[in-house]
Amino acid sequence: MMALGATLIFLTACSDENFTVKGVVSGADGQTMFLEHVGVSSVGVLDSVKLNAAGKFTFKQPRPEYPDFYRFRLNNQLINFSIDSTEILTFTADAGTFATSYMIEGSENSKAIKQITLAQLDANQAIGRLRKDYDSKLISDTTYRTQVLEAADAYKDVAWKHIYSTPMSTTAYFALFQTIDGLLFFNLYDKNDSKAYGIVATSFDHYYPENPRTKHLHNLALQSIKVIRQQRVLETDRINLQEINYLDISLTNLRGEVVKLSSVANNKTVLVNFTAYQSEWSPALNMNLAELYEKYKAKGFEIYQVSLDIDTHFWKNVSSKLPWICVHDPESAYSQIAALYNVKQLPALFLINKKGEIVKRIEDINTLDGDIRKAL
């Protein structure tokens, strides 16, 4: 009896070291569903099951050392959830609407993650429709820009509720890292969005100091604060550019290729233009630049145009139609490069001669023709 009792205690202790996810997926007969672990920088398959007509499944896995993220994958549809310890989660889903209409019991954080997921999908769908209308010229630049930001803000409104109420939760962490077109909804270099990273990072530092996610989040928050503080300093008049040289720029073009200003300016006269295609004045400016580009290109004139647009789709759409070199700075309004050029408002234009000297900062677009001719 003593030995049997010891064995039962041992088995109970072992079972306590696992978490369980189980449930039913209807309409998935013959399909394979995967259980995956979602790490900081990678996703790995833990287990899988071939579902039958009944659709029942059960997965058991070792409990994570810290609260962590997992997901089900059925074809290309995903259900994200989190595990804190040894809980038992129960899912009910249909194969046709697997990613959106599932039910979950046993984890309040996982229920909240579903809310975040649906808000992210709503924003992506709304922005997708706007892009289609914009590409079809059914809405203006201003309408497109305004409504894209409104859709993104609608997601943030949902995310902020969880970040403020439970900043130490997996839900808050999950909300921070949702993306659209590979870009985070919460911009690390936006002063308001930076607060979200700081709030969650501080909570994770306190509750989970040894968690690898805490270190990752902590570093991002520090990077965000550093850039924003640096921006405040650089926006002052302390930086005076030397007229005998220029600061090199290295950004990607439409094809994802890194284009350095120094390689473009090799024995050429170059107009460096910091701009935002989403601005009302942008089309008129580009029309003026197009005339000058056509007029002087054969004489060794080039344009290196730096977009600070938040919406990369908008930038790609416009830049694909322009004949000169177009690059994009993902830091947008918080661009360190623009700050180093002492850019305080857009558009900003600098003229570099063939000797690699900044010969003029253009204050009046009407003098640009003469300025280029003189530099050539």
Summarize the confidence of residues 103-125 as an average pLDDT: 95
Q: Check pLDDT > 60 for residue 191.
A: yes
Task: Region of 300 please: left (phi>0), alpha (psi -120 to 50) or beta.
Answer: left
Name the burial class of residue 334, with classes exposed (0-12), middle (13-18) and buried (19+) by CB atoms within 10 angstroms of its CB. Answer: buried
Predicted pLDDT of residue 164: 93
The pLDDT assigned to 12 comes to 40
Instruction: Please check the confidence at residue 189 and state whether its pLDDT lies above 80.
Output: no
Judgement on whether residues 131 and 217 belong to the same structural domain of the protein: yes
* pLDDT at position 105: 96
Residues 224 and 119 in one domain: yes
φ/ψ (deg, to 5) at 37 = -95, 130
Phi, psi of 54 (to 5 degrees): -70, -30
Q: Residue 103: is its pLDDT beyond 90?
A: yes
Residue 44, burial from CB neighbour count under 10 angstroms (0-12, 13-18, 19+): exposed
Position 279, amino acid = S
Q: Which domain holds residue 290?
A: 250-375
* Shared domain check, 122 and 98: no
Residue 41 located in a structural domain:
yes
Please, which pLDDT band fits residue 338 given cuts at 50, 70 and 90? Answer: confident
Residue 81 shares a structural domain with residue 161: no
Helix ranges (H only) for the chain are 2-15, 108-135, 141-165, 170-176, 191-207, 212-234, 261-264, 282-296, 312-319, 336-340, 368-375
* Residue 241 or 84, more confident: 84
Is 96 a domain residue? yes
Judgement on whether residues 286 and 356 belong to the same structural domain of the protein: yes
In terms of average pLDDT, the best of 50-64, 170-184, 280-294 is 50-64
Q: Give the pLDDT confidence of 125-149 residue by residue, as tens digits.
A: 998 898 888 878 898 877 887 888 8
Q: How far apart are CA 211 and CA 40, in angstroms?
A: 11
What average pLDDT score do residues 166-177 get?
95
Residue 356: φ, ψ to 5°: 80, 25
pLDDT at 80 over 90: yes
pLDDT value of residue 91: 97
pLDDT at 224: 73
253-273 per-position pLDDT tens digit: 998 899 999 889 888 999 999
For residue 242, is it within any domain? no
The answer to whether 87 and 19 have CB atoms below 8 angstroms apart is yes
Strands 250-252 and 18-26 come out as unpaired
**DSSP state letter for 64:** P
272 domain-assigned: yes
9 lies in some domain:
no
The interaxial angle of helices 108-135 and 141-165, nearest 10 deg, is: 170
User: Which range, of 43-47, 131-135, 280-284, averages the lowest pLDDT?
Assistant: 131-135
The enclosing domain of 26 has a CATH number of 2.60.40.180
Q: Which pLDDT score, from 0 to 100, does residue 40 have?
A: 84
165 C-beta neighbours (distance < 10 Å), count:
11
Please provide the average confidence, as pLDDT, over all residues in the chain: 86
Q: Domain boundary residue among 199, 234, 269?
A: 234
Q: Give the helix/strand (H/E) hosting 19.
A: strand 18-26
pLDDT at 214 over 50: yes
The CATH number linked to 347 is 3.40.30.10
User: Which of 65, 44, 159, 162 minimizes the C-alpha distance to 109?
Assistant: 162
- 253-270 in b/e burial notation, b at 16+ Cβ within 10 A? eeeeeebebeebbeebbb
pLDDT at position 231, please?
A: 54
Work out the pLDDT band at 154, boundaries 50, 70, 90: very high
For residue 241, is it within any domain? no
- The domain boundary residue, chosen from 57, 72, 105: 105
Q: Report the alpha-carbon distance of residue 180 to residue 315 in Å, rounded.
A: 15
pLDDT tops 90 at residue 100: yes
Q: 183 and 275: one domain?
A: no
How many domains are there within the chain? 3
More confident residue, 276 or 15: 276
Q: What is the pLDDT of residue 232?
A: 52
Q: Are residues 100 and 217 in the same domain?
A: no
Q: Are residues 294 and 351 in the same domain?
A: yes
* Closest to 79 in 3D by CA, of 108, 106, 57, 104: 104
* One domain for residues 271 and 339: yes
Whole-number percent of the chain with pLDDT over 90: 53
* 240 located within any domain: no
Contact 269, 354 (CB under 8 A): yes
The pLDDT assigned to 291 comes to 94
Q: Which pLDDT score is estimated for 102?
A: 96
CA distance 309 to 305: 12
pLDDT above 50 (res 3) = no
Contact 294, 369 (CB under 8 A): no
DSSP 160: H
Contact status, residue 332 vs residue 187, Cβ threshold 8 Å: yes
Alpha-carbon distance of 29 to 350, in angstroms, equals 64
End of a domain among 234, 268, 290?
234
Residues 302 and 344 in one domain: yes
Find the mean pLDDT for residues 300-320: 90
Tokens encoding 76: 């290309």
pLDDT score of 46: 97
Q: Looking at the structure, do residues 131 and 197 belong to the same domain, yes or no?
A: yes
Average pLDDT over residues 292-313: 91
pLDDT band for position 6 (50/70/90)? very low
Tokens of 42: 């990678």
- Whether the pLDDT of residue 241 is over 50: the answer is no
Average pLDDT over residues 145-161: 91
| Geometric angle at alpha carbon 149, from 147 and 151, rounded to 5° | 70
Confidence band for 8, pLDDT divided at 50, 70 and 90 = very low
Q: Which helix (H) or strand (E) holds 78?
A: strand 77-83
Residue 6 belongs to a domain = no
Cα of 236 vs its chain's centroid, Å: 28
H/E stretch holding 77 reads: strand 77-83
Do 24 and 49 share a domain, yes or no? Answer: yes
